[in-house]
Amino acid sequence: MDSDKVERLRERLLQCAVCMDEYRDPRILPCHHTLCYECIESVVQSSSTTGRFFRCPQCRSDVCVPRSGIKDFPINFYIKNLQDELGSTGYTGTCDVCRKEWLVTQFRCIDCDLDICRFCIHAHRLETHTDSPKILRVESTTSPNQFSCQKCAEHPDETLQLFCSTCKQAICIICSCNNHRRHKVIPVSAKLLESQAFLQKELDKLTSEKKMVVKAGKEMERAREIVVETCNQAILNLDAEAHKACEMIMTKKSNIVKDILRSEKSQIENIDGALKDFKSYVQRLDRGLDFLLDLQDSDICLEVVDTYRGFSKKLEAARDGFVSNRTSYWEQFLQTSSKKTVYLDISRWKDQKPD
């Protein structure tokens, strides 16, 4: 078959919708779409909190992972047969971080849209992103004994296969015979086993530290809740006390108003009584004046003089009664003046402490 037709068939029938590479261990989803086994794992890890549900990247249908795991998704033997007929091909390319042309670029960062080799992926995971990045494994065909493909800086043709414990750096075989001849040198594989134990301890330490941090975070959240509850309760208590104080002030005001009205009524009654006596006395004066003004020389007689003397005695008695009552009313008015009464009541109330 023509090679161009083969490549077109690969692109149309054998390309995974997640890694955009040829299928590796193709599995059929309930929605009849096919994904790589590892791509399904990556999608579940990145999008599902329970590990049981995710959405198909192609049709967005909800997919439930079988109870026994992803391995129970059926294998797409049709795809596998096509791969057998056409021949499968691996994904090769250049690492976008170190820019070296490795035989196989093994990872792809979905967030950054980068191809990353197995030696650069660790720093990318730890330092590039604040949150955990979405990393998909693209290919895994390197030999398990291939610990590093880095070249020696002094001997570019040699790979770093040894580790100098004295200098704490990876070296090549030539370096171990020259500059590191008397140093403690071990195989990289032994260093990796030692590093694996170290990383396990670090894992345990970070796990324990995370538990303590999470506990401290919960305590801080609880403290925040207590502060909010305390402040809200304080505001409610203040509102209640302010309401009581307003009620007390309104009660005091009502009592003072009643005292003012009673004082007003009493003083008005006294003043009205004094005015009545005043009018009665003025009427007697007018009658006396009119009587004296109307007298003619021919009208003067002993009877007139006697009558006026009797009237004069009554007028004098009325005058004495009016003056006496007026003095009493005035003194009482000064003592119980509305302004003075109100001022004294308010001053006395201001000096009192609330109950």
Domain spans, the chain:
3-137, 143-183, 249-351
- What's the confidence (pLDDT) of residue 146? 42
> Across all residues in the chain, what is the average pLDDT?
78
Given the candidates 3.30.160.60, 1.10.510.10, 3.20.20.70, 3.30.420.40, the CATH classification of the domain at 143-183 is 3.30.160.60
Domain 3-137 -> CATH class: alpha beta
Statement: residue 238 has pLDDT above 90? yes
Q: Would you give the distance in Å from CA 200 to the centre of its chain?
A: 37
**Count of C-beta atoms within a 10 Å radius of residue 71:** 11
Average pLDDT over residues 147-168: 77
Q: Under DSSP, is residue 278 helix (H, G, I), strand (E, B) or coil?
A: helix
Average pLDDT over residues 184-203: 81
CA distance 100 to 149: 10
Instruction: Summarize pLDDT for 105-141 with one digit per residue, the tens.
Output: 577 788 788 888 777 877 887 777 777 777 776 644 4
Instruction: Summarize pLDDT for 215-233 with one digit per residue, the tens.
Output: 999 999 999 999 999 999 9
What's phi and psi for 35, nearest 5 deg?
-135, 160
What's phi and psi for 154, nearest 5 deg?
-85, -30
- What's the confidence (pLDDT) of residue 115? 82
Q: How far is CA 121 from CA 53, 96, 126, 128, 129, in A?
A: 27, 11, 9, 10, 12
DSSP code of 96?
T
Amino acid at 76: N
The pTM of the full predicted model, rounded to 2 decimals, is: 0.36
Statement: residue 325 has pLDDT above 80? no
